Amino acid sequence: MDYRFSKISSSIKKSEIRELLSLTRKPGIISFGGGLPDSKLFPTKEITEITEKVLHTKGYLALQYGPTHGEADMISSLIKFMSDFGEKAEHDEICVTSSSQQGLDLVSRLFIDESTPVIMELPSYLGAIQAFRRDMANMIGVKMDFGGMDIGMLEREIEKLEKKKTPPAFIYTIPDFQNPSGITMTLDRRNELVQFAANRGILIIEDSPYRELSFTGEILPSLWTISGGKGVVLLKTFSKMLFPGMRMGWITAEKEIIDKIIMLKQSVDLCTPSFTQLILSEFISRGNMEETIKKAIELYKPKISMMLSELQKNMPEEVVWSKPGGGMFLWLILPEHIDAKEVFYKAIEKNVAYVTGQPFHCDGSGKNTMRLNYSFPSLEGIEKGIKILSEVIKEFICKK
Ligand SMILES: Cc1ncc(COP(=O)(O)O)c(C=O)c1O
């Protein structure tokens, strides 16, 4: 049959990363590829107890449709959670979502029309690129260094757009322990960015799944906080600091934006499941949340230390990498003439996998980059895998 697919459906591309990762599902592989939390952290016992309690005491709510913006108990728990991490929000500034990917979907639908310019970091989160590409945005990349987005380049790109009378709908950024690079935006740059965007009347979308996973104890103020809650949409999720299986997150923004998000969400899924919201809000109010975050930090800290020390010992000097103070990812930059995809196929032969960096670049650059995940592989896997990867990279450097 000759199906009449929508224009949007033709803007959806197959994910190169998913295809590469499908090659890594062979026994014995050491994978730095995915973005998964270590499942040792999952608090299955506590969730079992809480689930039983929720069904006994609030079954009539848990199995019912709920309000689109979220269950009252959940929103109160989120406000408390945010204040524990130095952030303030009101009830009418929050909408619960089915994790951050839904937050990105809603933001994309709310602000992007065909060819709407949006600004994002080079590299940036692949799921955001996919959502914005689906809505046919004109994605403009701004380079990063190890202190975050290059504000000078941002200003130049925005001036170009303003000259053409096509200002961007928003600046999308992941300031804390970024996916994919592991880079954190410095405090000075956060202040500069918020000031610059406010002066120009440009919205910031702050995507922040990793902020709480700080290995040093240092947590910088969010752009939401620096801006006083004006001109910033903050996307949060429990996927990385707790577990992704419940698909739970939230959007914080001014009421004017939240009201529109709620209307949009009604047409998408009516509401995020009440059942999981009630379980998580109980989990948070029991204090289990802080415990799980603490455990995650304890588990990931030796893993990043191992990765950094093995890189230092084994990588050739032509290779550079980020030194993440938290989160789940490290970014590796090879000499420009080396294609990380060619290295990938060689590494896979030796049972080591990662993801190539190019798909994280909205402008198609970044051929010589790769993302390494350290939250999922074991310590022994990291030690062995980095040695092998270093040997493979050395061969490429010697060859060229
Ligand atoms: C920066 C960023 N935003 C959003 C997401 C989406 O996560 P989820 O939908 O599980 O909340 C991810 C997941 O890897 C991410 O790294």
User: What is the whole-number distance in angstroms between the Cα of residue 344 and the centre of ligand 1?
Assistant: 24
> Is the C-beta atom of 179 inside 6 A of ligand 1?
yes
Q: Answer whether residue 51 is part of any domain.
A: no
> Is the C-beta atom of 99 inside 6 A of ligand 1?
yes
Q: Are residues 298 and 259 in the same domain?
A: no
Q: What is the C-alpha end-to-end distance of the chain, expressed in Å?
A: 50
- Atom 14 in ligand 1: which residue has the minimum CA distance? 35
Q: What pLDDT is attached to residue 323?
A: 97
Q: Are residues 206 and 326 in the same domain?
A: no
User: What is the whole-number distance in angstroms between the Cα of residue 392 and the centre of ligand 1?
Assistant: 30
Burial 258-272 (b: 16+ CB within 10 A, else e): bebbbebbeeeeebb
Q: What pLDDT is attached to residue 119?
A: 98
> Is the C-beta atom of 147 inside 6 A of ligand 1?
no
User: What is the whole-number distance in angstroms between the Cα of residue 378 and the centre of ligand 1?
Assistant: 22
Q: Are residues 237 and 383 in the same domain?
A: no
Angle, helices 379-399 vs 288-314, to 10°: value is 40
Q: Of 224, 257, 287, at which residue does a domain stop?
A: 287
User: What is the whole-number distance in angstroms between the Cα of residue 103 and the centre of ligand 1?
Assistant: 9
Q: Are residues 376 and 269 in the same domain?
A: no
Written as six digits, the tokens of 239 are 């996927």
Q: Which atom of ligand 1 is nearest to the CA of 35?
A: 14
Q: Answer whether residue 227 is part of any domain.
A: yes
Written as six digits, the tokens of 356 are 């190539």
Q: Are residues 236 and 296 in the same domain?
A: no
> Is the C-beta atom of 237 inside 6 A of ligand 1?
yes
Q: Of 287, 310, 327, at which residue does a domain stop?
A: 287
Q: Are residues 131 and 269 in the same domain?
A: yes
Q: Of 287, 320, 348, at which residue does a domain stop?
A: 287
Residue 228: partners with Cβ closer than 8 Å, 6 or more residues away: none
**Mutation to probe ligand 1, out of 179, 206, 234, 373 (largest number of atoms < 8 A from CB):** 179
Q: What pLDDT is attached to residue 10?
A: 83
Nearest-angstrom CA–CA distance, 148 and 115: 26
Domain carrying residue 206: 58-287
Q: Answer whether residue 249 is part of any domain.
A: yes
Q: Answer whether residue 1 is part of any domain.
A: no
User: What is the whole-number distance in angstroms between the Cα of residue 231 and the centre of ligand 1?
Assistant: 22
Q: What pLDDT is attached to residue 400?
A: 61
The pTM of this model reads 0.96
Q: Answer whether residue 385 is part of any domain.
A: yes
Written as six digits, the tokens of 48 are 């079992």
Q: Answer whether residue 177 is part of any domain.
A: yes
Q: What is the mean pLDDT of the chain?
A: 95
Residue 47 exposure: Cα atoms within 13 Å on the Cβ side: 14
Written as six digits, the tokens of 337 are 């003439």
Q: Answer whether residue 2 is part of any domain.
A: no
Q: Are residues 298 and 334 in the same domain?
A: yes
Q: Answer whether residue 49 is part of any domain.
A: no
Burial 120-148 (b: 16+ CB within 10 A, else e): bbbbbbbbbbbbbbbbbbbbbbbebeeeb
Q: What pLDDT is attached to residue 371?
A: 97
Among 304, 338, 339, smallest CA distance to 322 is for 304
Q: Are residues 281 and 327 in the same domain?
A: no
Nearest-angstrom CA–CA distance, 236 and 218: 19
User: What is the whole-number distance in angstroms between the Cα of residue 67 and the centre of ligand 1?
Assistant: 24
Q: Are residues 317 and 269 in the same domain?
A: no
Q: Are residues 107 and 236 in the same domain?
A: yes
Q: Which atom of ligand 1 is nearest to the CA of 98?
A: 9
Q: How many domains does the chain have?
A: 2
By the 8 A CB rule, do 395 and 350 touch?
Answer: no
Q: What pLDDT is attached to residue 17?
A: 75
Q: Are residues 313 and 363 in the same domain?
A: yes
- Residue 57 identity (one-letter amino acid): T
Nearest-angstrom CA–CA distance, 198 and 133: 26
The CATH number covering residue 22 comes to 3.90.1150.10
By the 8 A CB rule, do 325 and 214 touch?
Answer: yes
Question: Which positions of the chain have pLDDT values less than 70?
Answer: 400
Among 288, 292, 290, 282, smallest CA distance to 50 is for 282
Q: Are residues 85 and 156 in the same domain?
A: yes
The CATH number covering residue 210 comes to 3.40.640.10
